[in-house]
Amino acid sequence: ALGDVGLDKRRRLPARRLSAGQRRRIGLARLILDPAAFWALDEPLTALDDDGERLFGRLLERHLATGGLALLATHQDLAPAPARELRIGA
């Protein structure tokens, strides 16, 4: 999973030595490994670079395509937005 999120070369470093974006990628690796049908995520794009945002988008699309559900609280646009989306608020 670390290889899938671009951290395979940093697997031996303690997480405290990684950047904020790299620590967020550890969270994405956990999503890859976790078979949970429901994701509840708060600001999932925070500290991710453009590649990390695209990676999250692919993970989310795959999760939804396989019958998963996701509740995301975010102030950032999810581009591209999931096909099945309900927006609450402004």
Instruction: Tell me if 70 sits within 8 A of 42, measured CB to CB.
Output: no
**Helix H or strand E encompassing 28:** helix 20-33
pLDDT band at 89 (very low <50, low <70, confident <90, very high): low
User: How many percent of the chain have pLDDT more than 70?
Assistant: 87
The rounded mean pLDDT for the chain is: 86
Distances (CA, A) of 61 to 20, 46, 82: 24, 18, 7
Which residue type is seen at 43? E
Which tens digits make up the pLDDT trace of 37-48?
A: 999 999 999 999
| For residue 68, pLDDT beyond 80 | yes
Q: Look up the pTM and report it.
A: 0.80
Average pLDDT over residues 55-64: 90
pLDDT of residue 22: 93
43: three-class secondary structure by DSSP: coil
Instruction: Tell me if 1 sits within 8 A of 33, measured CB to CB.
Output: yes
